[in-house]
Structure 1
Amino acid sequence: MENKIELKGFLMKILNGTAMGIVVGLIPNAILGEIFKALAPQAQIFQTIHTILLASQAATPLLVGIFIGYQFKLQPIETGLVGVATMIGSGLLVSTDGALIATGIGDLINTMITAAMAVYLLSLIRGKLGSLTMILSPVIVVLIVGTLSTLLLPYVKQITTAIGAIIQNFTDLQPLLMSILLSISFALIIVSPISTVAIAYAVGLEGLASGAANLGIASAAMTLVVGAMYVNKIGVPLSVFLGSMKMFMPNWLRYPIMNIPLIANAIVTGVVAYLFNIQGTTASAGFGFSGLVGPINALSFMEGSVAKNILILALVFFVIPFVSAYLIDKVCTKVLKLYDRDIFIYGQEK
């Protein structure tokens, strides 16, 4: 990367690097996390594997920084420094009784801001430290970017708090309207830099509110799967299906028209959540069907035949959102001609 950073494309490189880091960091635990969590009490090896999967998830901010460095074609040392800086700035590590405890994946917005600061600072000092580059650049980047991002973190977190306050108001509405609004909200949040899990805990979603939020996420997943399957290789829609909806964050920000199918499908699943009384807990809200967290928790609230309930959950979490997404896609692209499916091409740079 040259010393001067061109503003054109800078944001897209940050977003694309973030999307790649999220996919690599979250997919292992999204696929296998719940399985080995359930098996953990049976044998130590399962507990060990579950810990490994959580470690992979916790590495997400570091991976985001590394992939952003790759987007900017940084040198190996510079790429590593961006990774370290983003890990610090994410707020992932919390000091408790003298020990650093990893909590979730940190704040994604601050992670991206930190990476942007690190990239910019590296462009300023590149070629100016001479033979001391290897010694001074880590100190400068970690000290300056790490400190600034840490001081900035509490203020950036207020964005999540503000969104949570708005969503809190939805829970006081009539159940059907609440379900629809929560479904729409979480369908959009899951594609944004905001954490759905953080919002769920900030609001304390439970019962029908939790179920509606999860079905909203499921609707977003299926909307992106349908849109992506026409213009990408199979790995892209498969990654979305497995839980990496945020990989389409760059597309979502670039093409606001994408909100139309996302909202339309979320309305459908909001109604479905109400009709089938799909419920959940605060801990399960924000996952959708990733790792089967949403369906498994919803099953625990259902009465009657387990087999029948599993069929209902398969219908509401998978079949209805997919069929609805497919029909909405046809209407938007073929009938109304609102957009071209090229907006779902993953990894666009221009």
Structure 2
Amino acid sequence: MSEKETKLTGKVFLNRVLAGTATGIVVGLIPNAILGELFKYLGTKMDIFISLLQVVQGFQYSVPIIVGVLIAMQFKLNPMQTIIVGAAAFVGSGAYVITDGAFMLVGIGDLINTMITASIAVLLVMVLGNKLGSMTILLLPIIAGAGAGAVGSFTLPYVKLITSSIGTLINSFTELQPVLMSVLIAVSFSILIISPISTVAIATAIGLSGLASGAANIGICAAAASLVIGSMKVNSIGVTSSVGLGAMKMMMPNLIKYPVIGIPLAVNAAISGIFAALFNIQGTPFSAGFGFSGLVGPINAMKFMEGNAVGNMGIALLAFFIIPFVGAFVVDFVCTKLIKLYENEAFKFVAAK
């Protein structure tokens, strides 16, 4: 191994953590994102699909472990070290709560704290190296696994304050005039969807409902459309399809490396948010944060619409797909061809190795 390969700077460390996290999110969330709503509908017809729905939902709970494992693999850790980092990431993620002595899964946890915990575990493993000798199998899980997990569990309440603070800010937008509210919420969620912050967690925490929920979903649709347009020029169809189907967070490393890509997302979200207000697109706290992933946003929006089913379907198609994608194409053309704000490479996805 060359000196260049062994030199680990802060930037290299962060990029590896982000790369592992981005891929882990895709692996963990895609099955439920693609099949969840389909199985939910088919479950009303045949019981077997209820079981299959529980499978893809259960798979989603493994996100913290998957993220931890893929982060560890970025640092070429051995199998035992890798699974220790994965276990520590799960413990520090907050994906479970303890009620009356019983462990209960409550989601995928806080992604930021998952990354912090996994990073601490990786650092402990690298610092300890082979210093534990024959006691490695006994002490490494305690020190790097339980130790990092303990630190993560202590930092979790403080890291969650980031999410709650953002939620408070977004909640203040609901007091504004409808069009302005829709624009601000759409723009906020368009950026949050490619950050480590959970849009679903924020929406449910502040009880985002009605037009505010609809605007949040439209903002996510606008972000997905912009990312698809940008990705299709430089990535494989698999990567682009994953982004379009709901795995927008896999673009987190791109946002960190090229913050400028947030501009086309925000502009497209602002345009789409205006139409969200004009069409009075609505939703619930539990449907906000999904966009058109699994058709959660469009299906819930149609429940609040008046008029016939065909007309409502046309409005949903226009608001959730046509306007965001047309807007994404136009904004991308302006940014890349006219003002040359960024190069297409800004959307190049680098998978975990």
- TM-superposed deviation, 1:38: 2.6
Separation in 2, partners of 1:105, 1:195:
9
- The alignment status of 1:20 with 2:33, answered yes or no, reads no
Does structure 1 conserve the Cα–Cα contact (< 8 Å) formed by 2:96 and 2:107? no
Match of 1:304 among 298, 307, 320: 307
CA drift of 1:143 comes to 2.4
- 1:54-103 alpha-carbon deviations (Å, 9 max, x no partner): 11110001000011011111111111011101111100011122221111
Residue 154 in structure 1 maps to residue 178 in structure 2: no
Q: Distance in 2 between matches of 1:181 and 1:85?
A: 37
- Among 34, 55, 60, the alignment partner of 2:58 is 55
Whichever residue aligns with residue 102 of structure 2, its letter is A
SS of structure 2 residue aligned to 1:104: coil
Matches within 5 A, 1:42-81: 42-81=45-84
Instruction: Read off the aligned partner of 2:319 and give its amino acid letter.
Output: V
Q: Secondary structure in 2 aligned to 1:100? A: strand
Structure 1 runs, 4 residues or longer, greater than 4 Å off: 1-5
Which residue matches 1:291? 294
Superposition pairs of residues 46-195 of structure 1, within 5 angstroms: 46-195=49-198
Q: Return the letter of the residue paired with 1:320.
A: I
1:305-345 per-residue CA deviation (whole Å, 9 max, x = no partner) reads: 10121121111111111111011101000001111111000
Equivalent position to 2:9, from 6, 29, 37: 6
Unaligned runs of 5+ in 1: none
Aligned length: 349
CA–CA distance in structure 1, aligned partners of residues 281 and 15 of structure 2: 37
Partner of 2:325: 322
Match of 1:219 in 2: 222
Percent identity of the aligned residues? 56
Alignment of 1:209-248 (within 5 A): 209-248=212-251
| Structure 2 letter corresponding to 1:22 | I
- Partner Cα separation in structure 1 for residue 57 and residue 79 of structure 2: 26
CA shift digits 1:182-227 (9 cap, x unpaired)? 0000000001110001110122110000000000000000000000
Distance 1:7 1:190 in 2: 25
Separation in 1, partners of 2:312, 2:238: 31
Work out the CA distance in 1 between the residues paired with 2:55 and 2:246.
Answer: 18
In the alignment, the residues of structure 2 paired with residue 33 and residue 253 of structure 1 have an alpha-carbon distance, to the nearest angstrom, of 30
Q: Distance in 2 between matches of 1:24 and 1:8?
A: 24
1:271 counterpart residue number? 274
Q: Is the 8 A contact 1:5 1:120 kept in 2?
A: no
Computed over aligned residues only, the root mean square deviation of the Cα atoms, in angstroms, reads: 1.5
Code of the residue aligned with 1:76 in structure 2: it is: P
Paired amino acid for 2:242: S
Q: TM-score, normalised by structure 2?
A: 0.96
Q: Is the 8 A contact 2:88 2:146 kept in 1?
A: no
Secondary structure at the counterpart of residue 10 of structure 2: coil
* Residue aligned with 1:64, SS: helix
